[in-house]
């Protein structure tokens, strides 16, 4: 199917664009009353993730309502550890929670990489197919996965944490176990991302949400090699690497086989450009809290961001997922400001 | 009283040192069985903070047991908002919690700056006096406070948060309220720190624990001016500024009237030195998780850190507070490795 709007793909590849493309991380979700209506009719978050028709419906909502230049498949990074054998729950207020964790060599027997992606994650692939059918080429569809380090955090810690000291302890006390688990996650992630492309994803993003908790040396030793393996394996579609909070990683990430580097709001875009160089696209990085301001202030801070770009290799986004209590009207102001900005 | 060991003060001032001084953030606390014995005999954390004889006792424990080169008064940064009128609780597992918060102009009436420090925070000053008496000059005693931005976070949010989006929202929606509250916190903090010096604190540290959640522009606008006011007001003793996670702030902080910049473990000391320059002392920055490793590995990673120093203006510490489940024997290995390192 031909895409009517392929702006974000051209921006990712560094091709000519007539304006900057814009989308928001977590655009399909709690900010929209239309999402909450679907979500509240179900038993929980996981039922929505695992029901392809409904996942497709909420994936498309922000395209219709907010006018963004891309859809991102409604899913969760934790479907990968679950497919490997560790079931997750999404608890109200508390967030993700795993009954079982991997902290010792013998606990590796709880998981496997020897399974068919279609078999265990077919619901995501089906959601991608339905979404593309219903989008009918209006915008590209982004697939995604968690980066191995972030998935490792959840598989060892079993829940969110301020320090992830259980996960990080293993890097010191049992580095070979850490590498083995990271490698297993990587194998599954590569097959999963390729299956998403096969199902119809037009581009891919790798989320390393807990990148910022590691020092530069450990990030280089335990996280980067596995991101590299994934990047090397993905040639079919543009790939975005988002290592939140790890500004030291921007240079090394940009040297990998990828198209776009995701940028959080805690760094100036000018410095991010300096670290990344001119051969990669940057994605980001308005502070999610800027969407709490008045329309006038929001337009202004969006324009300040756009004017700070030193070249056209940019995809506009927030520096992190949109916060759930943001007014969708503010998101529209943000999106429209980007779309109306003359290059 | 003359200090028998003033190494850390000389290091802070950039004077001659015969070896690097070493202490640990949160050294007085849950890692020590001797601390837990005192703590478990009481109703809660706050009773310990507010009982000078016991606060002094746990302050001195790590000097006796771990052999560190400084004591830091056992207290909490939240005593300041409480003195201003917002009572805090320290809940098991959940952390700090405030019944009342400040989010609107009218809620400013809940707080005051018009009080005597001795009157409301005398228990900290008494703890400092008792500690110094009992230390008898063995090591210097560090006093501390939270930086205004971090205290603002708790006074508005009312509890810990992954995003502090309530606190950050106010910076966008009501910047004048934000500046007013930050200014009030600053006034009290200056008087509180000066009272600590009067009571006997030999050096001071300002903890900006949530510095990393702000972008560089907002840190410059809302956090830095109030740190500057505090730094300008403190001339009596050496001052350490620790803005965790905000590496962009290291250069501007180093330009203030201070002696030492605290460095977290997510940045290489070499880069920190480059950002700070040679006219300030650096404090840090071993990964707290390095204390989970074997003795041999811990000695090795400590030596790697020490050898990375480009000059002698260093106080050795972790990059964050020691984690509560760390074995005190490991802390001793860390401390001894630093003390035995030949300059």
pLDDT at position B340: 98
pLDDT at position B9: 98
Binary contact (B172, A265; C-beta < 8 A): no
Binary contact (A165, B265; C-beta < 8 A): no
> Rounded to an integer, what distance in angstroms lies between the CA atom of residue B145 and that of residue B74?
11
Contacting residues for A46 by C-beta, under 8 A, at least 6 apart: A88, A89, A90
Residues in chain B where the model's pLDDT stays below 50: none
Domain that holds residue A19: 7-340
- The B-side interface with A (CB below 8 A) comprises 160, 162-163, 165, 168-169, 171-173, 212-218, 245-248, 265-268, 271, 287-290, 292-294, 297, 319-320, 323, 325
Query: pLDDT tens digits, chain A, 343 residues: what are they?
Result: 689 999 999 999 999 999 999 999 999 999 999 999 999 999 999 999 999 999 999 999 999 999 999 999 999 999 999 999 999 999 988 899 999 999 999 999 999 999 999 999 999 999 999 999 999 999 999 999 999 999 999 999 999 999 999 999 999 999 999 999 999 999 999 999 999 999 999 999 999 999 999 999 999 999 999 999 999 999 999 999 999 999 999 999 999 999 999 999 999 999 999 999 999 999 999 999 999 999 999 999 999 999 999 999 999 999 999 999 999 999 999 999 999 999 9
Closest CA to B266 of A266, A151, A276, A230: A266
> Rounded to an integer, what distance in angstroms lies between the CA atom of residue A242 and that of residue A257?
14
What sign does the dihedral B185-B186-B190-B196 (CA atoms) show?
positive
- Residue B215: inside a domain: yes
DSSP B341: -
What's the pTM? 0.97
- Residue B180: inside a domain: yes
Task: Spell out which residues of chain B touch residue A287, defining contact as CB-CB under 8 Å.
Answer: 168, 215, 218
From the CB of residue B10, how many other CB atoms can be counted at a distance below 10 Å?
16
Binary contact (A165, B288; C-beta < 8 A): yes
Residue B2 buriedness (CB in 10 A; 0-12 / 13-18 / 19+):
exposed
pLDDT at position A184: 98
Closest CA to B147 of B243, B73, B58: B243
- Residue A204: inside a domain: yes
Edge-first strand listing for the sheet containing A260-262: A71-72, A141-146, A203-208, A239-243, A260-262, A281-286, A314-318
CATH code of the domain in which A39 resides:
3.20.20.210
- Residue A196: inside a domain: yes
Question: Using CB atoms, which residue from A165, A215, A319 is nearest to B266?
Answer: A215
Contacting residues for A110 by C-beta, under 8 A, at least 6 apart: A85, A86, A100, A102
Residue B59 buriedness (CB in 10 A; 0-12 / 13-18 / 19+):
buried
Give the model confidence (pLDDT) of B30-57 as tens digits.
999 999 999 999 999 999 999 999 999 9
Residue A299 buriedness (CB in 10 A; 0-12 / 13-18 / 19+):
middle
Contacting residues for B247 by C-beta, under 8 A, at least 6 apart: A247, B266, B267, B271, B272, B275
pLDDT at position A1: 66
Binary contact (A246, B265; C-beta < 8 A): no
Q: How many domains does chain A have?
A: 1
- Residue B2: inside a domain: no
Provide the ipTM. 0.95
- Residue A2: inside a domain: no
Task: Spell out which residues of chain B touch residue A171, defining contact as CB-CB under 8 Å.
Answer: 289
Q: Give B266-271 contacts, CB < 8 A, sequence gap 24+.
A: B266/A212, B266/A213, B266/A214, B266/A215, B266/A216, B266/A245, B266/A246, B266/A248, B266/B319, B267/A215, B267/A216, B267/A248, B268/A215, B268/A216, B268/A217, B268/A248, B268/B308, B269/B305, B269/B308, B269/B309, B270/B308, B270/B310, B271/A248, B271/B247
Closest CA to A314 of A2, A5, A20: A20
pLDDT at position B1: 66
pLDDT at position A248: 97
Residue B100 buriedness (CB in 10 A; 0-12 / 13-18 / 19+):
middle
Binary contact (B165, A289; C-beta < 8 A): yes
């Amino acid at each position: 199917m031909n895409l009517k709007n392929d702006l974000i793909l051209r921006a990712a590849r560094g091709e000519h664009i007539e304006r900057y493309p814009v989308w928001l991380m977590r655009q399909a979700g709690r900010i929209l009353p239309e999402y909450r209506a679907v979500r509240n009719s179900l038993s929980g978050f996981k039922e929505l993730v695992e029901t392809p028709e409904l996942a497709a419906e909420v994936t498309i909502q922000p395209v219709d309502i907010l006018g963004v230049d891309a859809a991102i498949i409604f899913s969760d990074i934790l479907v990968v550890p679950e497919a490997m054998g560790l079931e997750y729950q999404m608890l109200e207020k508390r967030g993700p929670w795993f009954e079982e964790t991997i902290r010792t060599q013998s606990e590796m027997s709880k998981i496997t990489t020897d399974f068919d992606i279609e078999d265990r994650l077919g619901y995501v692939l089906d959601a991608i197919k339905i979404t593309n059918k219903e989008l009918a080429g209006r915008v590209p569809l982004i697939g995604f996965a968690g980066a191995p380090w972030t998935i490792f955090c959840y598989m060892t810690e079993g829940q969110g944490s301020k320090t992830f000291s259980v996960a990080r302890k293993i890097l010191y006390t049992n580095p070979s176990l850490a590498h083995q688990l990271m490698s297993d996650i990587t194998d599954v992630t590569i097959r999963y991302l390729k299956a998403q492309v096969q199902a119809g994803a037009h581009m891919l993003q790798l989320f390393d949400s807990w990148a910022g908790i590691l020092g530069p040396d450990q990030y280089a030793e335990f996280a980067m090699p596995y991101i590299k393996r994934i990047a090397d394996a993905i040639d079919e579609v543009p790939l975005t690497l988002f290592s939140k909070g790890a500004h030291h990683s921007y240079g090394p990430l940009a040297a990998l086989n990828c198209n776009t580097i995701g940028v959080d709001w805690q760094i100036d875009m000018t410095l991010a450009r300096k670290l990344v160089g001119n051969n990669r696209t940057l994605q980001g990085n308005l502070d999610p809290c800027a969407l709490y301001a008045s329309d006038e202030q929001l337009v202004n801070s969006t324009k300040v961001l756009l004017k700070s770009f030193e070249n056209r290799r940019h995809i506009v986004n927030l520096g992190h997922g949109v916060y759930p209590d943001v007014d969708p009207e503010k998101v529209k102001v943000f999106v429209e400001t980007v779309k109306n900005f003359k290059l």
